[in-house]
Amino acid sequence: MTDNNWTLGILGGSGLYDLDGLENPEWIEIDTPWGKPSDAILFAELEGVKLRFLPRHGRGHKLSPTSVNYRANIDALKRAGCTDILSLSAVGSLQEPYAPGDFVIVDQFIDRTFAREKSFFGPGMVAHVSVADPVCDRLARLAGNAAIAAGAHVHRGGTYLAMEGPQFSTRAESELYRGWRCDVIGMTNMPEAKLAREAELPYATVAMVTDFDCWHPGHENVDVFAVIATLTKNAEIAKGTVREIIKIIAQTPRTPSPAGIETNLDAALITAPDARDPKVLAKLDAILARVLGADKA
C-alpha cells in the first residue's frame, strides 16, 4: 500500500480501537517527559492509513477529566508520528437545536477549566501560540463529511464550553453558559486543543450530544445512566465516522495545513536562544523537534 503521509491520531473512548479490519494492531507504551499518558497507544493501519488510538480516560475509563494527563497524551501522540488529531467526545447540549444523538463539529472553545496544566511552555522556554481559531478547518470539514456518511445528524460549527468537572453543571451555571451562546458543554477538550496547537498538530472535534445538561424543562437532569445510554446508541456511528474519514484521507495525499498549523511555533517562541534553559528544552524535544532541527541546520 502507498503511504499517503497521513498518520491520524484518534483520542476517544471505548470501542473505537475495536474497528474491524485493523491491520498490524499493536499496543505500545510511550514514555514522555510529562509523565504517563492515559494508556498505551494502539498502532494500526486501515485502508493504507496509519492510525494511532489513545483512549483518553484509559481502557476501562479509569481517569476522570481532571486527572487525565493532557500534556503527556499530546506529547505521546507527537512521538508516535501523528500528523493530525481527531477527538471524539461526549457533550451535553446547551441549545435546543443540538439534540441528544446529534453530532457537532466544534469550531470554537471557551475554557473554564482551572485544575490542569495547560501548556508545554513556561519558565526557561516561553511561547505564546495563537488559538484564535483552535480547530483545523480542513480536518473538521473532513470529519463532518465522514460523520454524515456514517449516518449522523451533523451540525457544522458550534462553541464548546469546557468545564472542570467531574460534577455536572448547576442549573445556574448551565443558564449562564447558554447566555454566553455556548452550544455544547464537556470536560475534556481543553487544554487538549491548546496543547495540540502548541505541538503543531491540526486538531478537530466530533462532539456527540448525550443530553440537555440541566437547563431544559422538558428533560430530566443529566446523569451517568442517560449519558451511557445515548453513547451506546452513538457507538456504531462513531465507529462509522472513523471508518469514513479513513476512506476519505486514504484517497487524499496529505499536504500541509492551509492554516500553517505545522509551523505556528515560528511566530510563537519568545525566549532568546541564549536564554533558553537546556533542561526545559530537553523536555520539549518532541514538541520542538522541527524548530530545534531547523536551528541546527
Q: Which residues are catalytic?
A: 211, 213
Q: Are 292 and 42 in contact (CB under 8 A)?
A: no
* Stretch (H or E) spanning 211: strand 203-211
Q: Are 170 and 229 in contact (CB under 8 A)?
A: no
Rounded to the nearest 10 degrees, the angle between the axes of helix 70-79 and helix 189-198 is: 40
Which amino acid would we find at residue 131?
V
Long-range contacts of 20-23 (CB under 8 A, 24+ apart): 21/46, 22/46, 22/51
Question: Residue 153: how many CB atoms within 10 A of its CB?
Answer: 14
Which amino acid would we find at residue 121?
F
How far apart, in Å, are the Cα atoms of 41 and each of 13, 16, 89, 177, 281?
A: 13, 12, 18, 35, 25
Burial of 268 (0-12, 13-18, 19+ CB in 10 A): middle
Rounded to the nearest 10 degrees, the angle between the axes of helix 224-250 and helix 137-149 is: 110
Is omega for the bond preceding 166 within 30 degrees of 0, making it cis? yes
Q: Using CA atoms, how far apart are residues 262 and 278, in angstroms rounded to an integer?
A: 23
How far apart, in Å, are the Cα atoms of 40 and each of 30, 36, 52, 53, 108?
A: 7, 9, 10, 9, 29
Nearest to 166 by CA among 189, 193, 187, 192: 187
